[in-house]
Amino acid sequence: MAGRGPGSAFGKPAALDRRLYRRYDRPLRHRRTQGHFRRQRFNEYRSQSMNPYNDFKVIVKAELEKMSQAGALPPGLDLSRVAVEPPRDAAHGDLATNAALVLAKAAGIKPRGLAEALAARLRGHDDIREVTVAGPGFINLRLNDSYWHGCLAAILRAGASYGESDLGRGRAVNVEYVSANPTGPLTVGHARGAVVGDAMAGILEKAGFAVTREFYINDAGVQVDTLARSAYLRYREALGETIAEIPSGYYPGDYLKHVGKALAARDGDKWLEQGEADWLPEVRRFAIDALMAVVREDLAALGIEQEVFTSERALVEAGGVEAVLETLEARNLVYTGTLPAPKGKAAEDWEPRPQTLFRATDFGDDVDRALKKSDGTWTYFASDMANHLDKSRRGAKLLIDVWGADHGGYVKRMKAAVKALTEGQTRLEVMICQLVKLTRQGVPVKMSKRSGVFVTLREVIDEVGKDIVRFIMLTRKNDAPLDFDLVKVMEQSRDNPVFYVQYAHARVRSVMRHAQTAFPDIDQAPSSLAGGPLDLLTDSSELAIIRLLAQWPRMVESAAETFEPHRIAFYLYDVAAAFHGLWTKGKDHTQLRFLIDGDPKLTAARLALICATAQVVASGLSVIGVQPVEEMR
């Protein structure tokens, strides 16, 4: 109906996709680990990184290697499944490793026994305060407070770059999103895909990928012909004709009146007496240009700027589909055949018809797919294959498409196509976005592109602001339906995550402002705060926040690896909750307040903590394209 956009929500990659991704990534990751290892050895006195999970994974693996060398473990064990993670329950410790559990079988040692042996070795480490073996063979590590203080300092010194990783190692990724028919302004339906795609791009950038943001303009189908005819109607109207009613099958929206007027202003009545075949191509081109300008403005209002806009029509005219055909024919993947009738659907008008087909079934699809329509022109699928081949040839070995849920049935064939066209060298990941249910105080707001009374994206942005739109769109997994209530998202309460997170940031800024007057001698530059007496931070709530902040890099990586941008929003909510908790704790226990009269040292340490908190919140918001606020009023 309208490009790929109108759906809205994210999709969790299927199991098969996860496996594909891992295969693609494994050798690289392995190398990365080794690199880490070398660096660690090379620089033994380096204070520490900002990622305890990576640091201690290296340490755990090093101890395992030593155990192998000492004969306590068989040589050549596969350590790839060894993980160091936050324990499910913070009461268990700061870090937990599953090493004993995953190695027990291959080593022929009982998990508990292996765990005890490894634990004994880890007990010698400087930063580790306590090592316990629990459950079936988990090893829980508790770190010295000084380690976390060092972590906090490192976070502050890293500044805006904190959370960046080299997961992507500069590899090119193409993220294609929105990709609507240029037949009208963007609607709320498009907004989710737009936000999800743009946030995904931001996350991948943070994770070290070279990201291209792309928009594929579906300007070659019958819908843009309809657009042209609708615009032509408005053109006649602009020249004085009375159009009583827009016939069904035409786009009725008022926005086309501007197009009609603009065309009349430019060309006068030169198209009035001509036949459709003569005026249509030019009117179409004119209308598409006009509407793409509107679409770009709508995207800009959302804070989205895609650097590549690919026109389907231009791609086809440049011979893109021929390139596809050539590639496929070289591999004998094209033939003429007749597809079976679709089942379960009343297909009275169906008739067997020989078609030009792509052997999609060779690549996991359910049925071979048509490349040509009955009128001899290319199918949308054929030109979309050209689009994907083109993207791949431009260098991206990972392609991400963000589609609406109504295109879910299209995923298999496009993946098959990419596999065939690139001989498995390029991977396609499709993020499916479910519908957004737009309501106002619980009452559904209708949106229908053709009715002319739809709710445009612009209207929603004007009403609630782009930052709220962006954040709310990421508060659900993309493949789950999302409720968007125009009133609720403006509420200032804990159950409104946007507010809650923004408020945490604003509260920090508020304290910092107070500190400026109460403690003018404290230099608030993060690098200065990092040098403060951080060892004064000893309360469990304070250390809990540092641990949470230390998870930011792995949050970025996990969101990138799983293609799940919503994780960022949930993480930020957790950080905000920890901060608000500490704040209120200071109500009951005044010694825990951030600003302590007569104690500039403790105050400086507390400022370092909340400054880092605000920094991570701001960093997270920036990754998903939301502007942090200085105050809420």
Partner RNA sequence: GUCCCCGUAGCUCAGUCGGAUAGAGCGACAGAUUCCUAAUCUGUAGGCCGCAGGUUCGAAUCCUGCCGGGGACACCA
Considering only residues 549 to 578 of the shown chain, the ones binding RNA according to CB under 7 A are 554, 558, 562, 564, 566-567, 570, 577
Tokens of 555: 């949050």
- Please, which residue, 83 or 246, has the CB nearer to RNA? 83
Among positions 22, 31, 66, 394, the unique one binding RNA when judged by CB under 7 A: 22
Under 8 Å between Cβ of 260 and 235: yes
Contact between 586 and RNA per CB under 7 A: yes
Applying CB under 7 A, the span of 116-124, 270-278, 324-332, 505-513 interacting with RNA comes to 505-513
Contact between 483 and RNA per CB under 7 A: yes
Report the run of H or E that residue 540 belongs to, with start and end. helix 540-549
Question: What part of residues 136-155 is at the interface with RNA (CB under 7 A)?
Answer: 136-138, 140
Cβ burial of 538 (10 Å; 0-12, 13-18, 19+) is exposed
Distance set, CA 68 to CA 56, 83, 114, 138, 528 (Å)? 18, 18, 12, 20, 44
- Please, which residue, 293 or 632, has the CB nearer to RNA? 632
Under 8 Å between Cβ of 464 and 487: no
Cβ burial of 552 (10 Å; 0-12, 13-18, 19+) is buried
Residue whose structure tokens are 């200065």:
528
Please tell me the distance from the alpha carbon of residue 498 to that of residue 521, in angstroms, as a whole number.
34
Distance set, CA 301 to CA 105, 200, 337, 488, 621 (Å)? 56, 18, 48, 21, 17
Nearest approach, Cβ of 413 to RNA (angstroms)?
8
Question: What part of residues 327-346 is at the interface with RNA (CB under 7 A)?
Answer: 339, 342-345
Nearest approach, Cβ of 484 to RNA (angstroms)?
11
Nearest approach, Cβ of 63 to RNA (angstroms)?
17
Residue 20 amino acid letter: L
Among positions 43, 441, 493, 591, the unique one binding RNA when judged by CB under 7 A: 493
Applying CB under 7 A, the span of 69-77, 216-224, 246-254, 420-428 interacting with RNA comes to 216-224
Nearest approach, Cβ of 205 to RNA (angstroms)?
20
Q: CA end-to-end span of the chain, whole Å?
A: 43
- Please, which residue, 143 or 238, has the CB nearer to RNA? 143
∠ CA 386-388-394, nearest 5°, is: 100
Nearest approach, Cβ of 514 to RNA (angstroms)?
4
Contact between 78 and RNA per CB under 7 A: no
- Please, which residue, 120 or 347, has the CB nearer to RNA? 347
Among positions 159, 481, 531, 599, the unique one binding RNA when judged by CB under 7 A: 481
Residues 6+ apart with CB under 8 A from 222: none
Contact between 134 and RNA per CB under 7 A: yes
Provide DSSP, 114-162.
HHHHHHHHHTT-TTEEEEEEETTTEEEEEE-HHHHHHHHHHHHHHGGGT
Among positions 38, 39, 373, 601, the unique one binding RNA when judged by CB under 7 A: 373
Provide DSSP, 564-610.
-THHHHHHHHHHHHHHHHHHHHHHH-GGGSSS-TT-HHHHHHHHHHH
- Please, which residue, 4 or 36, has the CB nearer to RNA? 4
Applying CB under 7 A, the span of 103-111, 251-259, 315-323, 448-456 interacting with RNA comes to 103-111
Contact between 446 and RNA per CB under 7 A: no
Among positions 20, 59, 84, 96, the unique one binding RNA when judged by CB under 7 A: 96
- Please, which residue, 99 or 263, has the CB nearer to RNA? 99
Question: What part of residues 175-204 is at the interface with RNA (CB under 7 A)?
Answer: 181
Among positions 46, 88, 266, 446, the unique one binding RNA when judged by CB under 7 A: 88
Contact between 350 and RNA per CB under 7 A: yes
**Rounded to the nearest 10 degrees, how much is the dihedral formed by the CA atoms of 33, 36, 40, 42?**
120
Residues 6+ apart with CB under 8 A from 151: 48, 50, 52, 546, 549, 550
Contact between 113 and RNA per CB under 7 A: no
- Please, which residue, 110 or 394, has the CB nearer to RNA? 110
Contact between 587 and RNA per CB under 7 A: yes
- Please, which residue, 238 or 356, has the CB nearer to RNA? 356
Contact between 580 and RNA per CB under 7 A: yes
Indicate the SS3 state at residue 84: strand
Among positions 125, 301, 380, 622, the unique one binding RNA when judged by CB under 7 A: 380
Among positions 32, 157, 257, 593, the unique one binding RNA when judged by CB under 7 A: 593
Contact between 379 and RNA per CB under 7 A: yes
Give the residue among 101, 105, 99, 64 at the shortest CA–CA distance from 84: 99
Q: How many beta carbons lie within 10 A of that of residue 96, not counting itself?
A: 22
Please tell me the distance from the alpha carbon of residue 82 to that of residue 105, in angstroms, as a whole number.
13
- Please, which residue, 33 or 243, has the CB nearer to RNA? 33
Residues 6+ apart with CB under 8 A from 515: 522, 524, 594, 595, 603, 607
Among positions 113, 159, 252, 408, the unique one binding RNA when judged by CB under 7 A: 408
Question: What part of residues 297-316 is at the interface with RNA (CB under 7 A)?
Answer: 312
Computed on alpha carbons and rounded to an integer, the radius of gyration of the chain in Å comes to 29
Contact between 473 and RNA per CB under 7 A: no
Contact between 33 and RNA per CB under 7 A: no
